[in-house]
């Protein structure tokens, strides 16, 4: 049961939210040793990271150090030579590496989250035996090759091709761009169009050492500059049939499964980065005195520190909830994974902005870490699915599910999509009943799981889950299938779903913490309250704007400016 999709239908799937998951005992054991070793290895290299950011390079000896720490085998099962961490444990490791340097996390993360994940998820026993032990030690480093110059968000439009020869081998041709680890990888998961079933995509495991495989120069990037990003080209590369991943024509499904499964790595990294920013900003706010006192005493600075902390807690709560979904074998978690990626990637960008602002002019100087942190986290809302495309995915996946449930009503409501007026009464009536029955409003089951001090927050989520369902009903009735093209409306639905799901994760975590004594537990209640109040304001705003908005005017303005190609006004004229 997808919690997020059910929110659009007015249901809070409590069993998949409460109690807040705990890390497995085995993960705790491995992490206990690993996190300390990571700190020991990375903490003394602060100056090196700065230099490698400037030089855009990660020396081979340093990558060897990452191998020695076991950082390439984190999620590979022990039987196949790895550490066998769960998704939750893995995300925690990336959080630790990101607290030191983002490029390090990229090197490890692109290998595990996406580069070799295809073999873990879809590999045959023979493919696993051949590659996983080498991938676990880092003897082979992996990369994920999907993007092309003409195919970014529209990944299904790739043009790389693989043709099957009479001898059963495939011949692969094409060029991929912006491939993380492109210049250091020994193994690529490559997506190419295969002609047999018209237009279908197939995934292949390709070794860098094979004739015809090459890569371009290290890209000169804005951030994560030390992480290797290059083009990767394939010219008449012979790929044996045993290196086809999953089944012919199933490559798009393979790519999406890899990306969905890997999103908590990115989220975990964002949380680690935020924790460092909070520590830096706090030290800065205490050390810097203006008007005779530390700037940490001023309300506007305190507000920033509190907001960064609240959002870090929220990001952490949602990322590890999603990691738990993946680890517990839940099949339908792609919307929640997208939510965690969107929320965490935007929260860290807000945190970087505010930390730099707290540092004032120092924040702008390269001598201090804020400008690099700001550059480094900018990529997070662009790669592994842009946040725009993921918002559309979040909204449309939920709406599609409701659209399906409308089919139950087909006997009563003929052709609802073409005749909304006719179906209105029946549907509205049905929706109301369904909503009050499904959301738990009026029941005490959900409230029963929540400590009394969190009741206000709970009520807000219940109320706006009903509002989201009503809004979804309204939009489906108004636009029918053409809702897919109504991006302004879809963004509102996505933002409401994000606020509700993240808020419920916070509520669940705060509920678990409420049983523990101490100040941290008390402050978690404060966070849960404050998050709910802020979310409620955003939710109310989005609900109002479902029907009353300036979408048409904004679209007209966009049309005007797109036609002109420039801003036409000037005070001189
Ligand atoms: C540093 C870096 C590392 C990367 N690593 C890898 C890697 O390892 N492997 C790999 O395969 N790829 C990688 N990528 C590629 C990355 O995944 C793509 O950049 C990303 O998918 C977006 O594609 P694009 O850049 O072509 O943007 P476009 O798809 O051209 O999008 C441009 C803008 O239009 C918006 N947009 C696009 N479609 C829609 C729509 N339907 N509705 C509304 N808005 C839309 C986007 O959100 C974005 O704002 C990397 C990129 C970078 C910069």
**């085995």: which residue's tokens?**
26
Q: Give me the pLDDT at residue 300, please.
A: 98
User: Residue 29's Cα: distance from chain center in Å?
Assistant: 27
Q: Which of 140, 121, 138 is nearest to 74 (CA)?
A: 138
Distance in angstroms (rounded) separating the CA atoms of residues 456 and 461: 9
Closest ligand 1 atom number to CA of residue 176? 11
Whether cis (ω within 30° of 0) applies to the bond prior to 559 is no
The pick from 110, 150, 152 for probing ligand 1's pocket by mutation, whose C-beta has the most ligand atoms within 8 angstroms, reads: 152
Closest ligand 1 atom number to CA of residue 153? 29
Distance in angstroms (rounded) separating the CA atoms of residues 431 and 417: 16
Q: Give me the pLDDT at residue 402, please.
A: 83
Rounded to the nearest whole angstrom, what is the distance from the C-alpha of residue 263 to the centroid of ligand 1? 15
Rounded to the nearest whole angstrom, what is the distance from the C-alpha of residue 545 to the centroid of ligand 1? 29
Give the chain's residues under pLDDT 50: 409-430, 438-445, 447
One-letter-per-residue 3-state SS of 136-157: HHCCCCEEEECCECCECCCHHH
Torsion angle, alpha carbons of 129, 131, 132, 136, to 10 = 140
Closest ligand 1 atom number to CA of residue 110? 8
Nearest CA to ligand 1 atom 50: 178
The strand pair at 187-194 and 142-145 is best described as parallel
Long-range contacts of 220-224 (CB under 8 A, 24+ apart): 220/56, 221/56, 222/375, 222/378, 222/379, 223/102, 223/372, 223/374, 223/375, 223/376, 223/377, 223/378, 223/379, 224/102, 224/103, 224/106, 224/376, 224/379
User: CB neighbours of 288 closer than 8 A, spacing ≥ 6?
Assistant: 294, 295, 359, 360
Rounded to the nearest whole angstrom, what is the distance from the C-alpha of residue 153 to the centroid of ligand 1? 5
Q: Give me the pLDDT at residue 406, please.
A: 62
Rounded to the nearest whole angstrom, what is the distance from the C-alpha of residue 151 to the centroid of ligand 1? 8
Nearest CA to ligand 1 atom 31: 153
Q: Residues 457-479, buried b or exposed e (16+ Cβ, 10 A)?
A: bbbbbbbbbbbbbbbbbbbbbeb
Distance in angstroms (rounded) separating the CA atoms of residues 230 and 233: 10
* Other beta carbons within 10 Å of 293: 10
Nearest CA to ligand 1 atom 25: 152
Torsion angle, alpha carbons of 132, 136, 141, 147, to 10 = 60
Give the tokens for residue 35.
């996190």
Cβ 119 vs Cβ 245: under 8 Å: yes
**């925690």: which residue's tokens?**
92
Nearest CA to ligand 1 atom 41: 389
Nearest CA to ligand 1 atom 16: 383
Rounded to the nearest whole angstrom, what is the distance from the C-alpha of residue 179 to the centroid of ligand 1? 12
Could you give the C-alpha distances from 341 to 316, 380, 425, in angstroms and in order?
A: 11, 8, 38
Rounded to the nearest whole angstrom, what is the distance from the C-alpha of residue 390 to the centroid of ligand 1? 11
Cβ 162 vs Cβ 194: under 8 Å: yes
Residues with CB under 6 A from ligand 1: 110, 143-147, 152-153, 178-180, 221, 229, 379, 382-383, 386, 388-389, 392
Q: State the pTM of this model.
A: 0.94
Q: Give me the pLDDT at residue 197, please.
A: 61
User: CB neighbours of 437 closer than 8 A, spacing ≥ 6?
Assistant: none
Distance in angstroms (rounded) separating the CA atoms of residues 527 and 368: 29
Distance in angstroms (rounded) separating the CA atoms of residues 502 and 469: 17
Q: Which of 207, 38, 179 is nearest to 114 (CA)?
A: 179
The strand pair at 200-207 and 170-180 is best described as unpaired
Q: For the residues of 398-444, what is the DSSP string, one character each?
A: HHHHHHHHHGGGTTTSTTTTT-HHHHHHHHHHHHHHHHHHHS-TT-S
Q: Give me the pLDDT at residue 434, please.
A: 55
Nearest CA to ligand 1 atom 52: 178
The strand pair at 161-164 and 170-180 is best described as antiparallel
**Alpha helices (H) along 102-200:** 102-109, 117-122, 125-137
Closest ligand 1 atom number to CA of residue 114? 8
Could you give the C-alpha distances from 547 to 18, 418, 492, in angstroms and in order?
A: 34, 20, 11
Give the tokens for residue 490.
């879809």
Nearest CA to ligand 1 atom 24: 152
**């992996």: which residue's tokens?**
142
Give the tokens for residue 324.
């738990």
**């839940």: which residue's tokens?**
330
Q: Give me the pLDDT at residue 306, please.
A: 98
Rounded to the nearest whole angstrom, what is the distance from the C-alpha of residue 345 to the centroid of ligand 1? 15
Q: What is the pLDDT of residues 323-345, one digit of tens each?
A: 999 999 999 999 999 999 999 99
Residues acting as catalytic residues: 384
């Amino acid at each position: 049961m997808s919690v997020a999709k059910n929110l659009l239908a007015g249901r809070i799937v409590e069993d998949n939210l409460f109690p807040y998951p705990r890390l497995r005992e085995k993960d705790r054991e491995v992490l206990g040793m690993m996190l300390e070793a990571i700190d020991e290895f990375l903490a003394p290299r602060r100056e090196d990271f700065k230099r490698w950011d400037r030089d855009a390079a990660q020396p081979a000896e340093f990558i060897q150090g990452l191998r020695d720490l076991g950082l390439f085998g984190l999620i590979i099962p022990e039987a196949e030579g790895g550490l066998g961490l769960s998704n939750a444990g893995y995300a925690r490791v990336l959080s630790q590496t990101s607290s030191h340097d983002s490029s390090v996390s990229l090197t490890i993360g692109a290998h595990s989250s996406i580069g070799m994940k295809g073999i873990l998820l879809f590999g045959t026993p023979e493919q696993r035996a051949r590659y996983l032990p080498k991938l676990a030690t880092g003897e082979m480093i992996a990369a994920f090759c999907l993007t092309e110059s003409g195919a970014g968000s529209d990944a299904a439009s790739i043009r790389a091709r693989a043709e099957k020869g009479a001898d059963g081998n495939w011949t692969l041709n094409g060029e991929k761009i912006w491939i993380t680890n492109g210049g250091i990888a020994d193994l690529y998961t490559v997506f190419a169009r295969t002609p047999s079933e018209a237009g279908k995509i197939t995934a292949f495991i390709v070794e860098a050492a094979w004739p015809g495989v090459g890569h371009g120069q290290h890209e000169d990037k804005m951030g994560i500059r030390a992480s290797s990003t290059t083009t990767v080209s394939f010219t008449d590369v012979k790929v044996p049939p045993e290196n086809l991943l999953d089944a012919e024509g199933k490559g798009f499904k393979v790519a999406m499964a890899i990306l969905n499964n890997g999103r908590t790595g990115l989220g975990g990294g964002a949380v680690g980065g935020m924790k460092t920013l909070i520590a830096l900003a706090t030290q800065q706010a205490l050390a810097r005195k203006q008007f005779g006192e530390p700037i940490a005493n001023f309300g506007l600075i305190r507000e920033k520190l509190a907001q960064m902390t609240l959002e870090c807690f929220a990001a952490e709560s949602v990322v590890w909830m999603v990691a738990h979904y993946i680890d517990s074998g839940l099949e339908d978690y792609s919307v929640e994974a997208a939510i965690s990626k969107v929320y965490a990637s935007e929260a860290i960008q807000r945190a970087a902005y505010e930390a730099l602002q707290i540092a004032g002019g120092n924040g702008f100087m390269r001598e201090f870490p804020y400008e690099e942190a700001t550059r480094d986290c900018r990529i997070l809302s662009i790669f592994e699915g842009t946040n725009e495309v993921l918002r559309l995915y979040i909204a449309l996946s939920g709406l599609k599910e409701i659209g399906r449930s409308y089919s139950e009503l087909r006997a009563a409501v003929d052709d609802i999509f073409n005749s909304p007026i006719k179906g209105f009464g029946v549907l509205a009536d049905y929706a109301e009943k369904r909503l009050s029955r499904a959301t738990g409003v009026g029941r005490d089951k959900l409230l029963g799981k929540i400590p009394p001090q969190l009741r206000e927050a709970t009520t807000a989520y219940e109320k706006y889950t009903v509002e989201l369902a009503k809004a979804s009903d309204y939009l489906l009735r108004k636009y029918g299938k053409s809702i897919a093209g109504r991006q302004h409306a879809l963004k509102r639905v996505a933002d409401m779903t994000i606020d509700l799901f993240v808020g419920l994760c916070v509520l669940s975590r705060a509920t678990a913490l409420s049983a523990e004594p101490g100040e941290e537990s008390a402050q978690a209640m404060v966070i849960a309250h404050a998050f709910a109040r802020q979310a409620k304001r955003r939710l109310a705003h989005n609900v109002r704007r479902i029907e009353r908005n300036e979408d048409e005017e904004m679209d007209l303005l966009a049309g005007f400016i797109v036609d002109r190609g420039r801003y036409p006004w000037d005070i001189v004229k």
